[in-house]
Chain A
Amino acid sequence: QVQLVESGGDLVKPGGSLRLSCVGSGFTFRGYYMTWIRQAPGKGLEWVSYISSSGGTIYDADSVKGRFTISRDNAKNSLYLQINSLRAEDTAVYYCATASPVGDGHSYFFEYWGPGTLVTVSS
């Protein structure tokens, strides 16, 4: 069955950096678009970043542009999120999820999700 497992979450000081990882199994990872979505404690879901199956197309939320970088290594069935210049408002559970296209291919839904990894930004 499809499985996604995130790792790399930690307690980090403001201004610090982290690299989150997500390993996929049970499906052809290189054939799937992927995304990161986060959820601050007690808050709703916030989309963060998207990457195409080849890695050639990337979209980012305005709130993270210039600080977060999504990437993938299809040979390792892995998705990454490099997060720099961390702020208190980046504190959240970060989920990786598959992104499946609908319609004209410019819209996506998120079918499979990992359990998430917690990033806490605090001094």
Chain B
Amino acid sequence: SYELTQPPSVSVSPGQTATITCSGDKLGDQFASWYLQKPGQSPVLVIYQDTKRPSGIPERFSGSSSGNTVTLTISGTQAMDEADYYCQAWDSNTAVFGGGTKLTVL
């Protein structure tokens, strides 16, 4: 089955830039989305179609794609950005999520 691979954890200092990667064999041919989830809350869409940001999502969140890797970048990371982040794509009529990355802001 198709898999998306994310680092289990990423740490960043407040005000610095956080980057979270997601790799998959077919990502070069697919669009990816990113979601953040804080403890006890539902996931929130932060990036779709690799680079687009939904209304209401701060500009510090951005997405990029290169080859079989997509990247979520958070510029000027704030303490409130501490959360689990998941990438997601589709393959053969099946949605696939990455395993998730815990972003720690310290």
Contacts and interface: CB of A to CB of B under 8 A. Distances in A.
Contacts of B96: 47
Contact of B49 (A35, A103, A110): A103
Contacts of A108: 90, 95
A62 B96 CA distance: 12
Contacts of A47: 88, 94-97
A76 interface: no
Interface in B32-91: 33, 35, 37, 42-45, 48-49, 54, 84, 86, 88-90
Contacts, number: 65
Contacts of A100: 48
B93 A109 contact: no
A62 B92 CA distance: 12
Contacts of B43: 45, 95, 110, 113
B49 A44 contact: no
Interface residues of B, number: 26
Contacts of A110: 33, 35, 43, 45, 88
Given A45-B97, A108-B90, A102 B49 contact: yes
Given A46-B97, A59-B93, A113-B44, A107 B1 contact: no
Interface of B: 1, 30-31, 33, 35, 37, 42-45, 48-49, 54, 84, 86, 88-90, 93-100
13 contacts: A45-B35, A45-B88, A45-B97, A47-B96, A102-B48, A103-B30, A103-B31, A107-B30, A107-B89, A109-B31, A109-B49, A110-B35, A113-B44
Interface of A: 35, 37, 44-47, 50, 59, 61-62, 95, 100, 102-103, 106-111, 113-116
Given A47-B97, A59-B93, A108-B95, 5 more contacts: A47-B88, A59-B94, A102-B48, A109-B88, A110-B35
